[in-house]
Amino acid sequence: MILAASVVATVMLTTGIPAQYGDISGLKLLKPEDGMDVKSQPPPPGAIVLFSGKDLDGWTKTDGKSPPGWKIVNGAMEVVPGTGNIITRQRFAGAFHLHVEFRVPYMPQAKGQARGNSGVYVQGRYEVQILDSYGLKSEKNGCGAIYGVAAPLVNACKAPTVWQSYDIYFRAPVCENGKKKEPARMTVYHNGIKIHDNVSIPIDNTTAGLGGDPCKPGPIMLQDHGDPVQFRNLWLMPLKD
């Protein structure tokens, strides 16, 4: 892993991390808090709970029917590589706040896009990338990127194996008579730090999205990119347009 020159601390992390997530006790951290889990944010009143840690009843494979092949580990859902992406049974339109907590494994031998890769696809179309990009330059395909559209304003990643969060404020395309008049927009906070500010998304489908009519509601999709990324505490709060 390429780290910035201003390494200021090395933190010895405690046990309790699944074996496949790796031992990062010797990893040099840019800041001590980079080795600490983000504080979990419970769903506010009125939020739609997408995953509570108990079951995957609200999710299917991308055919919308088959049960997901992912597993639950200690209250988190974990990608089972090769089983495919999963989507919510519910479809969403308009404006909403999506909260996602995730963590990526420590894969020091892997490179680039093979390092703890997954993604959150809003309406199944617009991906906010998940990747182990700790200490790296912000890129359009790095962690926190609106994939292929916009690099994050800053790299707000925590170290691998540590719980992180996205708070995605999304407004769907504005449509009239079934035709798109204005593009989708997105503001994103990564671990509480703003990394996108009302970004206009000029395309209707980022790489590997479900596609379809941008004027129609879509699900939340989580990506199987071959790595055992974990998710917990997913919820969505509808907002006024």
Q: Which residue has the tokens 């995730």?
A: 102
Query: Tens digit of pLDDT per residue, the chain (241 long)?
Result: 333 333 223 333 333 445 457 778 778 899 999 999 999 999 999 999 999 999 999 999 999 999 999 999 999 999 999 999 999 999 999 999 999 999 999 988 887 787 899 999 999 999 999 999 999 999 999 999 999 999 999 999 999 999 999 999 999 999 999 999 999 999 999 999 999 999 999 999 999 999 999 999 999 999 999 999 999 999 999 999 7
Q: Which residue has the tokens 């840690």?
A: 53
| DSSP code at position 166 | E
In order of 42, 53, 177, 205, the CA distances from 86 in angstroms are 23, 16, 30, 17
Which pLDDT score is estimated for 184?
A: 98
In order of 3, 109, 151, 239, the CA distances from 155 in angstroms are 12, 21, 9, 27
Q: Pick one of 1.20.120.530, 1.10.490.10, 3.40.980.10, 2.60.120.560 as the CATH number of 9-239.
A: 2.60.120.560
Residue ranges per structural domain of the chain: 9-239
Which pLDDT score is estimated for 17?
A: 47
Q: How many CB atoms lie within 10 A of CB 10?
A: 12
- d(CA 99, CA 82) in angstroms, rounded, equals 25
Which pLDDT score is estimated for 20?
A: 59
Residue 188 — φ and ψ, nearest 5°?
-130, 135
What's the sign of the alpha-carbon dihedral 45, 48, 51, 57? Answer: positive
AA identity, residue 59: W
Give the global pTM: 0.90
